[in-house]
């Protein structure tokens, strides 16, 4: 049950697009289409941004999109805005019937 | 409006026990798998355990197996996590969530220290 691997930090200027990767194994990310992404602002509970690899919950901006190729999932934020500055975590269901989170990525809006 | 409210956190000595509760409202609690997720101070999220709708299926992260126990009472719309043999590394904010991840409580802090 090793954590999924994410870059520690990603930055971009307002209006730009950034992509956060989430690398797992054939026992988690690569096996199921059950990858979700969470946004967490300081001292706040996480917020679901993407589920089922590509689906957005109601109310989440369409600037957020998800994808997956093999054992790596990705979250893309288009038209970066100051309020997007936060920590982001991926999460995947595993073949052990458990879940595993990513190591987390700090997004900075320059 | 969906609400999840955790309680029961606090300071406990290593080797001690603690019981966390989560009161759910605003949705049909008995229809949902539920999870506990924790976050150590300054660290990332860690999935801890989940339980199915009738309590007959439970899963745990390896680091808490045999020490933590998840349960629920659908009549009381409540989720529980009993923590035994606590270690310093169990210090974290513990969140109650729907398994779908779209609803979270505000968290309750557990500190394991002598």
Q: Which of A98, A103, A104 to mutate to test the interface with B (most CBs of B within 10 A)?
A: A98
Cβ distance B95 to A48 less than 8 Å, yes or no, reads no
Give the number of beta-carbon pairs within 8 Å between A and B: 48
- Nearest CA to CA, how far is A103 from chain B (Å)? 6
pLDDT per residue over A12-69, tens digit each?
999 999 999 999 999 999 999 999 999 999 999 999 999 999 999 999 999 999 999 9
Distance of CA A69 to the CA centre of its chain: 14
SS3 content of chain A, % helix, strand, coil (to 5): 5, 50, 50
- Residues of chain A positioned with their CB less than 8 A from the CB of B45: 38, 40, 46, 89, 91, 101, 104
How many other C-beta atoms can be found within 10 angstroms of the C-beta atom of residue A7? 16
What pLDDT, on a 0 to 100 scale, did the predictor assign at position A1? 77
pLDDT per residue over A65-109, tens digit each?
999 999 999 999 999 999 999 999 999 999 999 999 999 999 999
């Amino acid at each position: 049950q090793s954590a999924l691997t994410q870059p520690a930090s990603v930055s971009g200027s307002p209006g730009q697009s950034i992509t956060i990767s989430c690398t797992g194994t054939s026992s988690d990310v690569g096996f199921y289409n059950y990858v979700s992404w969470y946004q967490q602002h300081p001292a706040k509970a996480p917020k679901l941004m993407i589920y089922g690899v590509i689906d957005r919950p109601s109310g989440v901006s369409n600037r957020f999109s998800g994808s997956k190729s093999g054992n790596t999932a990705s979250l893309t934020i288009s038209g970066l805005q100051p309020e997007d500055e936060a920590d982001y975590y991926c999460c995947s269901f595993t073949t052990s019937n458990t879940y595993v989170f990513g190591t987390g990525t700090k997004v900075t809006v320059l | 409006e969906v609400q999840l409210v955790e309680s029961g956190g606090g300071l406990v000595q290593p080797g001690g026990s603690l019981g966390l509760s989560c009161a759910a409202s605003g949705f049909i609690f008995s229809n949902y798998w539920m999870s506990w997720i924790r976050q150590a101070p300054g660290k990332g999220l860690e999935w801890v355990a989940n339980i199915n709708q009738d309590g007959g299926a439970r899963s745990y992260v390896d680091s808490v197996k045999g020490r933590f126990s998840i349960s629920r009472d659908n009549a009381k719309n409540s989720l529980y996590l009993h923590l035994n043999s606590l270690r310093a590394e169990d210090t974290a904010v513990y969140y109650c969530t729907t398994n779908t991840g779209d609803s979270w409580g505000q968290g309750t802090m557990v500190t394991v220290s002598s």
